[in-house]
Amino acid sequence: MIEHLDTALVNWSRAQFALTAMYHWLFVPLTLGITFLIAFFETIYVKTGDPEWKKITKFWMTIFGINFAIGVATGIILEFEFGTNWSNYSWFVGDIFGAPLAIEGIMAFFLESTFIAVMFFGWNKVSKKFHLLSTWLVAFGSNLSALWILVANGWMQSPVGMHFNPDTARNEMLNFWEVFLSPIAINKFLHTITSGYVLASIFVIGVSAWFLLKGREKILAKRSIIIASVFGLLSSLFLVYTGDGSAYQVAQKQPMKLAAMEGLYKGSEGAGLIVIGVLTPGKEYNDQKDAFVFKFEIPKMLSLLGYRNANAFVPGVTDLIEGKYEYSENKGNKQIAPSAEQKIEIGKTAIAALHDYKTAKDNNDQQLMDKSLIVFKDNFKYFGYGFLNDPKSIIPNVPMTFYSFHIMVALGFYFILFFTLVLFFTYKNNLEPKKWLLRISILTIPLAYIASMSGWIVAEVGRQPWTIQDLLPTVAAVSQIDASAVQITFWMFMVIFTTLLIAEIKIMTKQIQIGPKDGGH
């Protein structure tokens, strides 16, 4: 129920946030993974005393430093945008969303920033063991930083541990541990950081493969490949496990996202999992077109993965719009799902009751306050739908979600094969002559970034139109500012971020070409 909706403002605000987030995520996953690889390298150095391992550690530390410095800049801008472009969102859930971000700043960032100085400048100034401890703390700090961000994002996907205060029109935290330990947050954290480990492993293998192709730094390259391929393979296998957990949570909490991920328009019992397929262009949820030009699916697998029951009913886009299908909430009694139109009416009832409550409070009408509050609480579940007018607006971009999901999954299984091949030929001491695999290793680096970015497209595009699932759509979350101001800053950020990215690539490639300093001093 938006009286004066400026669609340009909403779209440009979304575009600016997406731009900032995507550029920021170009830097984050490498940081998450390479810090642990550096810690592994230095641990071996401290254990063996072999100066070659110190040389390896310092080289990858330099690469990490370049990536970390530029990544921080984009992250700071991203957090500021919550206040500048999404002030209604910040007001609505600031008491909850702000807590993880504050903890991230106080705990993780200070831990990381304090010991990163020792890690870079403490060589020969502190003991080997204290320097090693600092390196490990930087690794844990960077991942701890991601934890709190992902807890906040997980809460947006499935709000728990809170209640709505009608006096302030804000959501307030009731149970921190429920927010922190929500299944969606846990799966999101584990899946996201593990994808960073996979990307960093591929990056280290790719750069090391370049050294082998050039006939340079062979000891560094071979040793780096051994550690990175083991770390990468184990991470890839765990990534499949966490991916399954994440998909299960999506099925339980965000069924429309699951329908978009699988291009499922008409639900069915024993739904199959699409392995590969091409969507019909221009397909609408209520037309008679087949959803796919062609597809290959595994029978019953979507029902099994999404509901742990091979014969379970999986609702499609049409079912979620029209309702009337049976579902079980929190493994309780079967219920009949309301249609999107009914949810919108329920949401409008909740908004109207909140307005009546405030009016009654201003007039000191206790009886009307109590009555309005009862109506509001009874209808709060679909509060966010009250800001919408068109049932079709709850459908995300199906093609973008579908293709991003399947690209991510396909590349995930390719990475398992890739790490296995690299490990096999390394074990056989026969990797260096395999020029084809070394070239593939270099080409796999951008594929790792594509897979990582595709995952975030699925997570964020797939949950549209919601900033907070079922409670606050993007149309109600934006700041009331002029759309032209957002447009101007969008293009400014585009230029700045692109310049930073080009600078990073140039600095990093130059540093790789220079190689490690001799002697590791």
Report pLDDT for 68.
84
290 with 363: CB under 8 angstroms? no
Q: What is the pLDDT of residue 1?
A: 44
Contact between residue 207 and residue 512 where contact means Cβ atoms under 8 Å apart: yes
pLDDT band at 337 (very low <50, low <70, confident <90, very high): confident
Residue 158: count of CB within 10 angstroms of its CB: 20
Higher pLDDT: 102 or 87? It is 87
What pLDDT shows up at residue 285? 85
Rg (CA), the chain: 25
Q: What is the pLDDT, as a whole number, of residue 407?
A: 96
Task: With a cut of 90, say whether residue 324 has pLDDT above it.
Answer: no
- H-type alpha helices, 2-50: 7-25, 28-48
The per-residue pLDDT for range 370-383, each reduced to its tens digit, is: 999 999 999 999 99
pLDDT at 103: 76
Q: Is the pLDDT of residue 2 over 60?
A: no
Per-residue pLDDT reduced to its tens digit, 356-404: 999 998 888 888 999 999 999 999 999 999 999 999 999 999 999 999 9
Per-residue pLDDT at 91: 84
d(CA 496, CA 489): 10
pLDDT mean across residues, the chain: 89
End-to-end Cα, the chain, rounded Å: 65
Q: Could you tell me if 20 and 49 are in contact, meaning their C-beta atoms sit under 8 angstroms apart?
A: no
Domain boundaries, the chain: 7-254+396-513, 259-336, 340-391
CB-CB neighbours of 436 under 10 Å = 8
Integer angstrom CA distances of residue 264 from 275, 294, 318: 13, 13, 9
Beta-sheet strands, E only, within 358-500: 466-468, 472-473
Region of poorest pLDDT, from 48-57, 106-115, 293-302, 365-374: 106-115
Q: 360 with 369: CB under 8 angstroms?
A: yes
Say yes or no to pLDDT of 162 above 60. yes
pTM (2 decimals)?
0.91
Residue matched to tokens 């709505």 = 164
d(CA 344, CA 393): 11
Contacts of residue 300, defined as CB under 8 A and 6 or more positions apart, other chains included, come to 270, 271, 272, 310, 311
**In the structure, what pLDDT confidence band is assigned to residue 56 with cuts at 50, 70 and 90?**
very high
Task: Please tell me the distance from the alpha carbon of residue 388 to that of residue 482, in angstroms, as a whole number.
Answer: 22
Residue 320 contacts residue 286 (beta carbons within 8 Å):
no
Q: What pLDDT is recorded for position 331? A: 59
- The rounded distance, in Å, linking the Cα atoms of 23 and 493 is 10
Helix or strand holding residue 427 (H, E): helix 398-427
Q: How much is the average pLDDT of 172-193?
A: 90
Q: Given a cut of 70, is residue 330 above it in pLDDT?
A: no
Of the pLDDT bands very low, low, confident and very high (cuts 50, 70, 90), residue 518 is low
Share of the chain above pLDDT 90, in %: 59
Looking at residue 77, its pLDDT comes to: 79
Angle (CA) 470-155-168 rounded to 5° is 70
Mean pLDDT of 492-508: 91
Task: Convert the pLDDT of each residue in 265-298 to its tens digit.
Answer: 999 999 999 999 999 998 888 888 898 999 999 9
- 206: tokens are 């790719």
The per-residue pLDDT for 211 is: 95
| Average pLDDT score over residue span 95-112 | 73
When mean pLDDT is compared across 18-22, 106-110, 260-264, the lowest value belongs to: 106-110
Instruction: Judge whether residue 51 has pLDDT over 90.
Output: yes
Q: What is the dihedral of CA 118, 122, 126, 127, to 10 degrees?
A: 90
* Band (411; pLDDT cuts 50, 70, 90): very high
Three-state DSSP class for 286? coil
Under the banding of pLDDT at 50, 70 and 90, the label for residue 461 is: very high
At residue 452 the predicted structure's pLDDT band, cuts being 50, 70 and 90, is very high
Q: What is the number of other CB atoms lying within 10 angstroms of the CB of residue 288?
A: 5
Range with lowest mean pLDDT among 169-178, 201-210, 431-440, 484-493 = 169-178
- Read off the pLDDT of each residue in 27-55 and give the average, rounded to a whole number: 94
Q: Is the pLDDT of residue 520 over 70?
A: no
**How does strand 170-173 pair with strand 162-165?**
antiparallel
